[in-house]
């Protein structure tokens, strides 16, 4: 893959895999233009396959994209009426309604605006009584309802995807993740009311099995990891 010229310029990027074997790079002057392009891409895919299963990451990178999707739905209420949504990961230990939880983020930025019914949304339980059973529940649901049509991702500051942290060996399926210091310092947790004990996340095989993957990268803090990604580094120490 050719290194994008502006990877050294701290611009906003989106990498999309699925249409071309090795993916596409798209460079944008700012985050708003990136978000507009990604929201239109997602809406276009839904128009082609109305019951698409879209798996959603959380955090600053996709936030504006989700807000724009919500705006599209207000203008065209029928656009997402058959779309299925799935939550990529969750902060284990927080209450589902904690302002720092992934559940709260998705409901505030997208799901509530779309009035998504329970039968078209699936996500992790943030305080499961048994974490192993929760991982099995997610794996079984994905087996019955997958594969994911479109996986939306952000790039972690240490190269993590979801809560697939740099490690000696990456996990293939849904699992409990020991969170890195980078993840524990995530801006989402600034206003947390509970205590984060672990991460819950889909595994790398779940993610890579998606028919399309859209990876959003924005901001100077991500520039080092963007360069690693663009040079094609393959290592469990760099999940992206």
- Known catalytic residue: 26? no
- Reply yes or no on whether 158 is catalytic: yes
Lay out the sheet containing 84-87: strands in order across.
24-28, 12-17, 212-217, 150-154, 53-56, 84-87, 121-122
Is residue 233 among the annotated active site residues? Answer: no
- Say how far residue 174 (Cα) sits from the centre of its chain: 14
The residues near 87 (Cβ < 8 Å, ≥ 6 apart) are 55, 56, 58, 102, 103, 106, 121, 122, 123, 124
Q: How many residues does the chain have?
A: 240
- 31, 45, 89, 98: the catalytic one is 89
Torsions phi, psi of 31, nearest 5? -70, -30
Catalytic pick among 165, 175, 186, 206: 165
* Catalytic member of 31, 45, 134, 160: 160
Catalytic annotation present for 103:
no
Q: Tell me the catalytic residues.
A: 89, 158, 160, 165
């Amino acid at each position: 893959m050719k290194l994008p010229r502006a990877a050294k310029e701290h611009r906003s990027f989106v990498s999309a895999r699925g249409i071309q074997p090795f993916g596409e790079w798209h460079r944008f002057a700012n985050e708003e233009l990136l978000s507009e392009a990604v929201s239109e891409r997602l809406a276009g895919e839904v128009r082609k396959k109305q019951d698409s299963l879209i798996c959603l990451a959380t955090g600053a990178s996709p936030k504006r994209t989700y807000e724009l999707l919500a705006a599209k739905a207000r203008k065209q209420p029928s656009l997402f009426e058959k779309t299925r949504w799935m939550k990529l990961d969750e902060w284990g230990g927080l209450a589902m309604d904690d302002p720092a939880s992934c559940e709260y983020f998705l409901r505030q930025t997208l799901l509530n605006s779309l009035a998504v019914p329970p039968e078209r949304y699936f996500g992790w339980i943030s305080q499961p009584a048994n974490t192993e059973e929760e991982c099995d529940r997610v794996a079984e649901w994905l087996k019955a309802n997958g594969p994911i049509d479109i996986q939306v991702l952000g790039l972690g500051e240490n190269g993590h995807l979801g809560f697939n942290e740099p490690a000696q060996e990456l996990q293939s399926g849904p699992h409990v993740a020991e969170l890195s210091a980078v993840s524990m310092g995530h801006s989402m947790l600034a206003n947390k009311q509970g205590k984060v004990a672990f991460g819950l996340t889909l595994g790398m095989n779940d993610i890579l099995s998606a028919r399309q993957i859209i990876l959003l990268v924005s901001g100077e803090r991500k520039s080092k990891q963007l360069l690693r990604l663009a040079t094609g580094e393959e290592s469990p120490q760099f999940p992206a």
